[in-house]
Amino acid sequence: MTIRSLLTGGALVAAVFASSLCHAQALRRAPAPLPTDTEIELSKINDLNVIMQRADEWRKANDLRRYTYALERLVQLRPYSPNFIYGLAEAYALRDEKTKAYDTLIKIQKQGLALNPDKDPDFDKIRDKPVFKYIVDGIVVNETAWGEGEVAATIQGGPELIESVVHDKKRNRFLAASVRTGEIVAVDGSGKTTAFASPATTSALKSVFALAVDEARGYLWVGTAGAPQFKDYRPVDLGTGALLKFDLATAKLLETHKLPFTGTPRAFGSITVASDGTVYATDAILNVVYQVQGGNLRTLFNVPESTSLRGIAVSSDNKFLYFVDYELGLRVADLGKSEVRELKLDPHNLGGIDGLYYYQDHLIAIQNGTVPTRVLRIAIDKTKGVLTTVQPLEANQPEMAWPTFGAVSGDAVYFIANSQRDMYGANGLPLEGTFIEPRKIYRVNARFAWNEGGKGTQAPMIKDDKPAG
């Protein structure tokens, strides 16, 4: 059939109508402005420090136009950064670009972030419209506590700088590990600790960053590395690391899998165990995913574009490996095809995630790089390989002072609620003048609000029909 024969009768009318409509729309749309020299220059810079330095210089010089360009580039490079998103809204407000400022603030609200511009004088030019109050009211809701979680145990004494904890269901106890001392301790329901393993009994133990329980086989997997935070750190230890397998019942060391020596820092982001016993682990510094299978350690793949790999989880059918970049969000690897791709779900903020766990076709994420800190349940459509809904399980609780890593056990999510990691220096010791509170193991019901279908934030979602402003 020829093109001419298609354009007869109703087809011709439809084509003419469509052509007229497109022409009218083109007339109404102003052409996109050409990028400025500054925008072109910034587009070639990927170093955040360089861009932030320029932004600071332009702000001090009151060059708000270039300052805004810099913030736009920062958000482009780090789309989940709450500070950059808020800074961009601030830049738009300073230039009295109301629509852009409101749209960016609405994004903050929809992401469940508690970054309130109400008292910030930089927003004075845009606060006189009803939409500003509407946005602020939504953000205020984000500042309230959400969830029904509780403290499962408060660790009595024990080692310093604990970031990871797992649950030994068979023996009704927790196992917690220290970055500072390399100790692994058992914790009962009252918080009392007893020794499980330490550098004194296991020479391969140094800073412990990650734990995982293989409940079916009775193993504890440990990720350890020679880090400057370790109390007995030696420069020659830098770049060393190992995955260790212990017997859960006896604490006997069964296997040691040493990582290839690099001479550069190592730190395990997380460990997960598949149903067939295969172990996966992330390196948060080298951005490598490791696999232990059949007693052999190998590099599964590299993620060179990553900033810092953290949590990792494997699907129940062992086909997909989910892992998170702390600044760039979620990724999934099809283990059958060796393909890695990004997972996102607008408008949700999936940055700042440390712990990541698989639970009944959902991902449980411990998010400490946002304000407020949260625990999220993220639904997965495995047939399409996409995320479908996000449901906050816990947010803005006073006990959650830098939550880190944990584990799913049954229907419970356990994690260190107040690692207070930001209160420790590079040497693993508390910063001067800080007070370290007793560490709390927090419990969240993974099935909380199971039938609610997922919410964008812990607050009611702002609808698209926002007041005109």
**pLDDT tens-digit profile of 118-144?**
999 999 999 999 999 999 999 999 999
| 48 vs 78: CA distance, rounded Å | 9
Task: Output the CA angle 431-433-434, nearest 5 degrees.
Answer: 65
Question: What pLDDT score does 95 carry?
Answer: 97
Cβ neighbours for 250, distance < 8 A, ≥ 6 positions apart: none
Question: What pLDDT score does 468 carry?
Answer: 39
CA-wise closest residue to 179 among 420, 448, 355, 389:
420
Q: Are residues 92 and 179 in the same domain?
A: no
Task: Output the CA angle 388-403-299, nearest 5 degrees.
Answer: 70
28 lies in a domain? no
* Inter-residue contact 365 to 375 (CB < 8 Å): yes
Q: How confident is the model at residue 9 (pLDDT cuts 50, 70, 90)?
A: very low
Six token digits for residue 96:
């009295």
Q: Please report, rounded to a whole number, the percentage of residues in the chain having pLDDT higher than 70.
A: 90
Q: How confident is the model at residue 453 (pLDDT cuts 50, 70, 90)?
A: low
DSSP string, 304-338: TT-S-EEEEEE-TTS-EEEEEETTTEEEEEETTTT
| 189 vs 178: CA distance, rounded Å | 19
The torsion defined by the Cα of 93, 98, 99 and 102, in degrees rounded to 10, comes to 60
Q: How confident is the model at residue 213 (pLDDT cuts 50, 70, 90)?
A: very high
CA-wise closest residue to 467 among 138, 85, 89, 93:
138
DSSP string, 379-398: EEETTTTEEEEEEEEEES-T
Q: Are residues 132 and 243 in the same domain?
A: no
Q: What is the strand order of the sheet 362-367 is part of?
A: 146-147, 386-395, 374-381, 362-367, 353-359
Whats the size of the chain, residue-wise? 469
Average pLDDT over residues 191-204: 95
| 390 vs 53: CA distance, rounded Å | 35
Q: Are residues 136 and 203 in the same domain?
A: no
| 424 vs 415: CA distance, rounded Å | 19
23 lies in a domain? no
361 lies in a domain? yes
DSSP string, 62-118: T-HHHHHHHHHHHHHH-TT-HHHHHHHHHHHHHTT-HHHHHHHHHHHHHTT-----T
| 421 vs 440: CA distance, rounded Å | 13
CA-wise closest residue to 122 among 143, 85, 92:
92
* Inter-residue contact 219 to 248 (CB < 8 Å): yes
Query: What is the value of pTM for the model shown?
Result: 0.88
Does 6 score more than 80 pLDDT? no
pLDDT tens digits for 235-245?
988 889 999 99
Q: Are residues 188 and 46 in the same domain?
A: no
Summary mean pLDDT of the chain? 88
pLDDT tens digits for 54-105?
999 999 999 999 999 999 999 999 999 999 999 999 999 999 999 999 999 9
Average pLDDT over residues 432-461: 80
| 466 vs 97: CA distance, rounded Å | 17
11 lies in a domain? no
Q: Of the residues 113, 142, 171, which one is the last residue of a structural domain?
A: 142
pLDDT tens digits for 288-305?
999 999 989 999 999 988
Q: Are residues 82 and 209 in the same domain?
A: no
Burial (Cβ within 10 Å: 0-12, 13-18, ≥19) of residue 375: buried
Question: What pLDDT score does 137 carry?
Answer: 95
Question: What pLDDT score does 20 carry?
Answer: 39
Q: Are residues 118 and 258 in the same domain?
A: no
4 lies in a domain? no
Number of H helices, E strands in the chain: 8, 25
Question: What pLDDT score does 266 carry?
Answer: 82
Q: Are residues 191 and 312 in the same domain?
A: yes
307 lies in a domain? yes
26-30, 104-108, 189-193, range with the lowest pLDDT: 26-30
Q: How confident is the model at residue 457 (pLDDT cuts 50, 70, 90)?
A: low
Q: Are residues 183 and 323 in the same domain?
A: yes
Q: Are residues 272 and 179 in the same domain?
A: yes
Q: How confident is the model at residue 8 (pLDDT cuts 50, 70, 90)?
A: very low
Average pLDDT over residues 395-422: 95
Domain membership of residue 392 as a residue range: 146-452
Cβ neighbours for 421, distance < 8 A, ≥ 6 positions apart: 161, 163, 402, 404
Structurally, the chain folds into a number of domains equal to 2
99-103, 157-161, 246-250, 448-452, range with the lowest pLDDT: 448-452
